[in-house]
Structure 1
Amino acid sequence: MPLHVPPAPAPALRSVVMALGSPTAVRQAPTPSLRNAEGPVTPELPLPVHVLDAITPEGVQATRLAGWRFLIRCGDRAVAAAETRLTPDGWAFSHFFEGPYVTSTERALRQAESLPQPYQARLLSVPGLYMLTLWLHEDVTADGAEGHPQATDLLVPLAPAPPGIAAHLPHRVSDLLPVLTLRATPAAPVAPATPAPPTPLLGQPA
């Protein structure tokens, strides 16, 4: 089924296009693949980046929109990504980057295209676990900048994923959230053992 990509704010897209057109911005970015790209580069597949700030023991999530991310394509592959952020003056370019999450995002999007049900594509970051997932939201008409993960949405952990969590394996939110809750909840401190009272000697009162 077609994967729905929500439209990014026009100022965010314009800021990325302007950065790509700036030799200084590209040259100073820590992105050899972007600097050495042969041929035109274009920003594609804008994805809203939501951050999962907190998971309570009850499973209640606190998420917020942190920015919009664009894959920068050259030819038939993504060579980098561009991040935008909201400033007091509106959406603005933040930085270019490359690395494993660019490749794994592209791979996860291709996987999502083959699912039998249509989804809206988003990214969900879990900073407490150093984890990034492709968030497949069931409501394809929703505003991509708003909302929280629903029980029947899918989360696809991107590589590298935390130990014990398989990358590129879709999980329902209702199944993965308890795992994330367990990982993100600090263990309760163990109270020191109370020493037993001394045993009275024979002939002494207890």
Structure 2
Amino acid sequence: MPLHVPPAPAPALRSVLTALGSPTAVREARTPSLRAAQGPATPELPLPLHVLDHITETTGPSRARLTGWRFLIRCGERAVAAADTMLTPDGWAFSHFFEGPYIRSTERALRQAESLPQTYQPRLLSVPELYMLTLWLHGERTADPASGQPAADDILVPLAPAPPGIAPHRPHRVAELLPVLTLRLTPTPAAAGLLA
């Protein structure tokens, strides 16, 4: 079934379009493929970027928070870079361009998600404690993309490169993957003794 991609806030999109139209911003970007791109570059597939902090806290469940919107920058038939925006006191603003393996991995995960029998709202969920990024397929497809927490039945697809021992592009229910991630970050009693 098709994914229900939420529209990005208009100021976030405008900030990316302004940056793409700025020769200085593109020239100073650390994205050789964007600088070398022939033809117009267009921002597509805006995905809300959430961060899941402190997954080993015992004071309550982990909380996801919206930190920005990520746009894939397409030139011709392929994505050549991505652009991140961030929320500032004055509203949405362009943050930076980048490239690397997460761009192709995001495209691959989105194609995988298109073949699932249920419609999802795609989001990105970062787990900074593991240097991990996942495609978060939220079951409430019409939910406000800026809010909400990963539900037990939502699906997480780890993007490549994934942390050692976690297979990229293998879909997991949140209820299955989050406990594994928590265990990966919780020191064992023997390791805790070594650190004392």
Indicate the TM-score class for this superposition, using the shorter chain for normalisation. over 0.9
> What secondary structure does 1:56 align onto?
coil
TM-score by length of 2: 0.94
Q: Which 4+ runs in 1 deviate beyond 4 A? A: none
Matched residue, 1:183? 184
CA shift for structure 1 position 54: 1.4
Change (3 A) 1:24 1:55: same
> What aligned pairs does 1:76-95 form with structure 2 within 5 A after superposition?
76-95=77-96
Of 134-143 and 55-64, deviating more is 55-64
Matched residue, 2:105? 104
Q: For 2:129 and 2:56, how far apart are their aligned partners in 1?
A: 13
Give the structure with the higher percent helix. 2
CA shift for structure 1 position 56: 3.4
Q: For 2:54 and 2:81, how far apart are their aligned partners in 1?
A: 29
> What secondary structure does 2:8 align onto?
coil
Aligned sequence identity (%) = 77
Q: For 2:119 and 2:8, how far apart are their aligned partners in 1?
A: 19
Matched residue, 1:33? 33
Q: For 2:135 and 2:43, how far apart are their aligned partners in 1?
A: 18
CA shift for structure 1 position 6: 1.1
Matched residue, 1:199? none
> What secondary structure does 2:19 align onto?
helix
Q: For 2:187 and 2:42, how far apart are their aligned partners in 1?
A: 43
Report how many aligned residue pairs link the two structures: 191
CA shift for structure 1 position 185: 2.0
Q: For 1:56 and 1:50, how far apart are their aligned partners in 2?
A: 17
> What secondary structure does 2:119 align onto?
coil
Q: Which has the larger radius of gyration?
A: 1
In structure 2, runs of 5+ residues without a counterpart are none
TM-score by length of 1: 0.90
CA shift for structure 1 position 57: 6.3
Aligned-residue RMSD, C-alpha: 1.3
Q: For 1:184 and 1:50, how far apart are their aligned partners in 2?
A: 19
Note the alpha carbon deviations across 1:20-76, whole angstroms, 9 max, x for none. 000000000000110111111100000000000011366821211110000000111
> What secondary structure does 1:136 align onto?
strand
Matched residue, 1:174? 175
